[in-house]
Structure 1
Amino acid sequence: MIVRSRWLLISVGLGMLLNPLNSSMISVAISRLQNVYHLDFTGVSWIIFSFYIASSIAQPVMGKASDIFGRKKIFLAGLIVSFVASLLAPLSPNFGWLIVFRIVQAIGTSMMVSVGMAIVRIHITEKQASALSVMSIFLSGAAAIGPFIGGVLIHWWDWPAIFLVNIPFVVTSFLLAWRNIPKDESPTSVAQGMSIRKWFDLIDASGILFFTVGLVALLVGLLSAKSSGHVSFEHVIVGLIGLVALGAFVRHELKVTSPFIPLRTFAKYPAMTWVNIEFILVNVLYYSLFFGLPSYLQMVRHVSEFHTGILMLSLGLCSLVVSPIAGRWIDKSGPRPALLLSAILMTFGSVWLVTLNQTSPVISVCLALAAFGISNGLNNVGMQAALFQSSPKEIIGVASGVFMTSRYLGTILSSLLLGIIMGDKFSDGGFQLLGAILSVIALSLVFMSWRRRKSGQLEES
């Protein structure tokens, strides 16, 4: 890989890591925020859910914006938005304002994730899987060490430090990106001289509105029911509003000439749709373990927080070690073999969870973590490579945005699954039931990967 490509990857990677870093780092601050703002767990948990909801909406929106207005412009704008949010969040006068700045932070970091992948796709044309493995190191590495970094920062400086720590990353990425990301090819020329109405038509503002209202209402209904522990009439109404809005979104997108999410294109390329479905399932599996195992270890097996953190860090380290190996393998053989092995490993890890109880040796936990960690390293590169293989180049920004939305939907669904199975109390029986359900999901991924069309090198589109 030439020197210029390496600096481009570093420039983009430093910006992209902010999203997974902040989505995982906040988890260790929940207890502290409860005390500061005098909230119960249900109330304070919305600082996590709001980030996921905002990210799942912002990813495809920013992918569309980058296709129209230019990827470098959107990437740099995202860094500026992230800088402002990280600076103002510690100054929040109440929890409501902290949620607002958290949402702004999610939007800013989302601008860099979907656009960053598109920049790599466009400007690095050789050994793309290897380039993706470098991006995977930034993304999975940030997610893996986020809780550890957050714990250190809160221990020494208190919770505002988990926002302020973003600033050096933002400044460094901005300076490098300004220098190393190639200039945009005047994507705004088609939009010059347009009226406000035509501008809205160009970016499909109505489609964005339907999509936003539908997804927010549906997720808020589901998450509110999960947080309160029961399904009320209000939850059902909010969920139905979401479904109706999403139905209106689908109908609208099939009619307009410049859709926000080109559903007809997805119908034309069904492999691209299946990649997103697989990615949702992959993240349901991974984050069910990521969120569920620490609580199980602490509540059921009475493992200390320190030792739980060490065990969970091994999950991320396995992923980091495997990612560059996966990149070289996928460059030679395509994504299918790696994704098939990943699905088999997740099946093994899920079945192994069924065997865990209070007397199981620690090595049993390590085996499950290793299986999921290795599979995550394979998936981080393999799923993105499969997306690039199945997506036409002209909509790669939107495709990358929808792809990242799939990640957050899987994350949210994993949280809902844990809430339904465990309720307020973790137990051996509940965790074994979780393992059984994850085993079924993992087996479905084995079948999907086996049926995947065989392919060698990544296709150029």
Structure 2
Amino acid sequence: MKKYVLLAATLASFLTPFMGSAINLAIPSIGREFHLDAMMLNWIVTSYLLASCAFLLPFGRAGDLYGRKKVFLAGIVAYTVFSLLSGLATSGQALLIFRVLHGIGGAMIFGTGMAILTAAFPPQERGKVLGINVAAVYTGLSLGPVLGGFLTHNLGWRYIFFLNFILGLIVLLVTLFKLKGEWRDVRGEKYDLAGAFLYTLGMASFMYGIASVNAGTLAHMILALGLLLMVMFVRQELRFSFPLLNLSLFRNLIFAFSNLAALIHYSATFAVGYLLSLYLQVTRGLDAQVAGFILLAQPVLMALLSPLAGRLSDRVEPRVLASLGMALSAAGLFFFSLITSTTPLWVIVGNLVLLGIGFALFSSPNTNAVMSAVEKRYYGVASATLGTMRLVGQALSMALVTLFFGLYLKGRAITPEAGTLLMKSMDLSFLLFAVLCACGIYFSLARGEVRAKQGER
């Protein structure tokens, strides 16, 4: 039974990063076909992330109460259907809507997949299986640029979504016919519907407001509304007997700082593939296929080293490995802020290797620290919280890029003629990301000893 749980969770974990990294290579082609400017192209990526992070926590809690397999299965169905519809989109606006719905399906998967996996394996095997799961994520990231570039160059960007549709069908069949039983660690508690409403609307408003802050007064009002709703959400959670998010978990410094470290790291690193895809295709004039092979360097190192880092975190304090990984990421991001239109490609590849090592050393140990810091009954909430930090970080990363693109590119299309403005946006983005990552090292180190916490329990 455990092997099928691992198979289903691993396949699902492969899907979304594969799509995310593949679509980066298709962005210039989508822009040309639908005549989209730089801001609209950013929203093709950001809309998925915004929807995912807004719905992830509510679906994670729903899985705890009503059955994680049910929510997971519904997510696979939605994700598969909207992959097909995205590939059939006839306009940029239609693609944007399908990407939002795509993201809601992704939230169902993210909110339950890791919790199912963690509950199915004993603590002494947890680091190993989480390492395998993270390796699947990075395998998706690895194949995304290669297949995404190949499909875009030879068949067209729509075939990225069609391939994702086929992969989704495979995951659906494995889940339906091989995953028996159900996972529910919480019984007799009520669902916090008011909290779910406040959180979803507040998170969506907050993230949209940040990404659109250059748009004027309306965007500022939406951002303020998002902040107000999130404050109301916190108040609701403190008063409700069975909260959507148990805020008392954040009194545990290991849990709190590990999640904060994840938020910072993903905020600083997620947009790297998107920015470099534009740099290689627009500034350097490479086709999508060649750009995909260059971007392969980072995720390959992630996939190779993540299982090793996961197993190592069962014996070595996770904060040590994760902090080292974050330091390497900060160094790589700072270097990218210095590149020019003539930087040798082998130097770009070498720095992507450095980032890949840093990311692998950070992610698996940090995930192990989060899940090891809570009791079994909170696995669903812990998984959803960590997933929320990841997706909020990814959305913030793209929101910051959108902000800087708005400063320099404004409503211009991303073309070779706009190469100088694109480079200025990239340089500022990478510099801010490097500073964020450097600050995150403190929280990674300050989280405390996971081994001591496990001994107390």
Q: Fold match, TM over 0.5?
A: yes
User: Are 2:225 and 1:241 aligned?
Assistant: yes
Find the aligned partners of 2:159 and 2:285 in 1 and give their Cα distance.
Answer: 29
User: Are 2:170 and 1:150 aligned?
Assistant: no
2:197 maps to what in 1? 209
Shift of 1:248: 1.3
- Specify which of 370, 376, 385 is matched with residue 368 of structure 2: 385
User: Are 2:113 and 1:129 aligned?
Assistant: no
- Specify which of 205, 224, 233 is matched with residue 212 of structure 2: 224
- Change in 2 beyond 3 A, CA 1:414/1:128: same
Q: Is the 8 A contact 1:60 1:400 kept in 2?
A: no
| Most deviating of 85-94 and 341-350 | 85-94
Structure 2 unmatched runs, 5+? 410-419
2:173 maps to what in 1? 175
Q: Is the 8 A contact 1:385 1:458 kept in 2?
A: no
- Specify which of 435, 438, 448 is matched with residue 433 of structure 2: 438
Q: Is the 8 A contact 2:64 2:186 kept in 1?
A: no
- Specify which of 274, 289, 294 is matched with residue 277 of structure 2: 294
Find the aligned partners of 1:91 and 1:297 in 2 and give their Cα distance.
Answer: 27
Shift of 1:131: 0.4
1:70 maps to what in 2? 67
Identity within the alignment, %: 25
Report matched runs for 1:43-62 at 5 Å.
43-62=40-59
Letter in 2 for 1:212: T
- Change in 2 beyond 3 A, CA 1:317/1:426: farther
Find the aligned partners of 1:355 and 1:37 in 2 and give their Cα distance.
Answer: 32
Find the aligned partners of 1:453 and 1:153 in 2 and give their Cα distance.
Answer: 46
- Change in 2 beyond 3 A, CA 1:186/1:342: closer
TM-score (norm 2): 0.87
| Most deviating of 345-354 and 64-73 | 345-354
Shift of 1:449: 2.9
Find the aligned partners of 1:5 and 1:341 in 2 and give their Cα distance.
Answer: 32
| Most deviating of 134-143 and 169-178 | 169-178
2:136 maps to what in 1? 138
Q: Residue 332 of structure 1 aligns to a residue in which SS?
A: coil
Find the aligned partners of 2:116 and 2:35 in 1 and give their Cα distance.
Answer: 43
Shift of 1:300: 4.9
| Most deviating of 419-428 and 215-224 | 419-428
Structure 1 unmatched runs, 5+? 192-201
RMSD: 2.8
Q: Residue 239 of structure 2 aligns to a residue in which SS?
A: coil
Per-residue CA deviation, residues 230-265 of structure 1 (Å, 9 max, x unaligned), is: 3411111111111111121111111111211122x2
Report matched runs for 1:48-447 at 5 Å.
48-92=45-89, 94-125=91-122, 126-184=124-182, 190=188, 202-225=190-213, 230-263=214-247, 265-300=248-283, 305-358=288-341, 360-421=343-404, 423-424=408-409, 425-426=420-421, 433-447=428-442
Length, aligned pairs only: 443
TM-score (norm 1): 0.86
Q: Is the 8 A contact 2:60 2:112 kept in 1?
A: yes
Shift of 1:302: 5.2
Find the aligned partners of 1:375 and 1:300 in 2 and give their Cα distance.
Answer: 26
Find the aligned partners of 1:347 and 1:36 in 2 and give their Cα distance.
Answer: 36
Find the aligned partners of 1:343 and 1:77 in 2 and give their Cα distance.
Answer: 35
Find the aligned partners of 1:185 and 1:346 in 2 and give their Cα distance.
Answer: 36
Per-residue CA deviation, residues 157-195 of structure 1 (Å, 9 max, x unaligned), is: 43432222123322322332334434125669637xxxx
- Specify which of 419, 432, 446 is matched with residue 451 of structure 1: 446
- Change in 2 beyond 3 A, CA 1:101/1:151: same
Q: Is the 8 A contact 1:15 1:109 kept in 2?
A: no
Letter in 1 for 2:159: A
Find the aligned partners of 2:195 and 2:60 in 1 and give their Cα distance.
Answer: 14
Q: Is the 8 A contact 2:31 2:41 kept in 1?
A: yes
2:37 maps to what in 1? 40
